[in-house]
Structure 1
């Protein structure tokens, strides 16, 4: 009788254990799947943002750029199924500085959501080593390289000293702050009396000749230039220091 009791107790215990295990397994599997979706989103979005930062670094011609990306996946991702193919992620229209948001989509599982990320970018940039007032001209002695933490408002950055030195301050420059395009006046490529190279283009035709500037001007400004060969005065547009272009 005692033997029968032991068998029945073990059978009941085994049945309870199996029932408990069957109840826990779906929950655990679901938790693991939601964790995989979260990691999938984090990994792919981090990779994409890193690539965009690397592309900007190449375009800016910078050697030293560091970044840290913190992806914030919404809690709703816990209800999503793992995407069997690479996620589709919208590309951004602006620079990847500060807080960004991207739409993430899985076509086969028919789900999409917006994911935010906090992107901290530190770049070594040419900056003013002192506060500079409007009207001052920037010399080589006024510039030094300094690590700058960039934010969402840092647009149109000047990342090369050639684009800064020699230009006039249009808005007050603060010491060790990123210099943006609107901080400086357009470069004065040509001054009155300068000898210039006139470049002429027309439907595949190209020629260049010597000229003399009769007016001063910066990029995109129309100025009068005298062709030293013919003596003719034409309208041309400065394109670089000592160079102007005209179209016939």
Structure 2
């Protein structure tokens, strides 16, 4: 009888020990799964950060990328294949962006938002430029500008702005954009121009009205304001036409 009781007590102790060991394993296993889920979220955030930084292609100076972290309540198994990332706004360089993150094994997808800020090199007016004026090298400069100060179509090359016409008046320290510029016609239709005629070493000057736009060395028609005769000439300078 005593031996039977002893055996039962031994079995009970062994069972309790096994139970405690199993509980410990389950606790460690559950913590490992939880750690893997957290690690998966951290990996997603890092992948999105790296993807956006690479997509900026060095156009942004000292970029600031703020990732909007996914909720820690989100349960995602660890991805066993490389993550696939794609921007929903391909042409958007800054501001709020949304990145699609996909895993193929196991199959899941999430969207991660991010805010991008920083500086870009942009052409800026050093001084005021009047409407219809030709933009000279001393009028502009290239300098870093905050992304919040630029608009779509800002220009990053001085050569793309020099010799263009200002479509409207441009204030000093203004970031120059494409809509502010006009094709660099030296002669504008319906505007007054100087007519020059050279005869036997003499230069005769009069005025006329251009009947069409003309760039440097292009032929245009001009109505002589004195004789009302239409003549053809070559554009040799801004608002100046040479009549052979």
Shorter-chain TM-score: which interval? 0.5 to 0.7
Q: Equivalent residue of 1:90, what SS? A: strand
Unaligned runs of 5+ in 2: 1-5, 194-210, 221-244
Of the three residues 104, 125, 130, the one matched with 2:127 is: 130
Across the aligned residues of Structure 1 and Structure 2, the Cα RMSD in angstroms comes to 3.8
Aligned to 1:149: 146
Task: Tell me whether 1:43 sits opposite 2:40 in the alignment.
Answer: no
Once the two structures are superposed, the pairs formed by residues 1-248 of structure 1 within 5 Å of their partners are 18=21, 21-54=24-57, 57=59, 65-75=61-71, 78-91=74-87, 92-151=89-148, 154-188=151-185, 216-217=213-214
Aligned to 2:203: none
Could you give the per-residue CA deviations for residues 93-127 of structure 1, whole angstroms, max 9, x where no partner exists?
21321111121111222211111111123123221
Q: Equivalent residue of 1:28, what SS? A: helix
- In 2: Cα distance, 1:18 partner to 1:168 partner: 83
Could you give the per-residue CA deviations for residues 167-206 of structure 1, whole angstroms, max 9, x where no partner exists?
22234545434322112123338889xxxxxxxxxxxxxx
Structure 1 residues 224 and 133, CA gap change in structure 2 (3 angstroms): closer
- Residue pair 2:142, 2:158 contacting (<8 A) in 1 also: no
- In 2: Cα distance, 1:171 partner to 1:29 partner: 65
Q: How many residues end up aligned between the 2 structures?
A: 190
Q: How does the TM-score come out when normalised to structure 2?
A: 0.61
- In 1: Cα distance, 2:83 partner to 2:149 partner: 26
Structure 1 residues 103 and 133, CA gap change in structure 2 (3 angstroms): farther
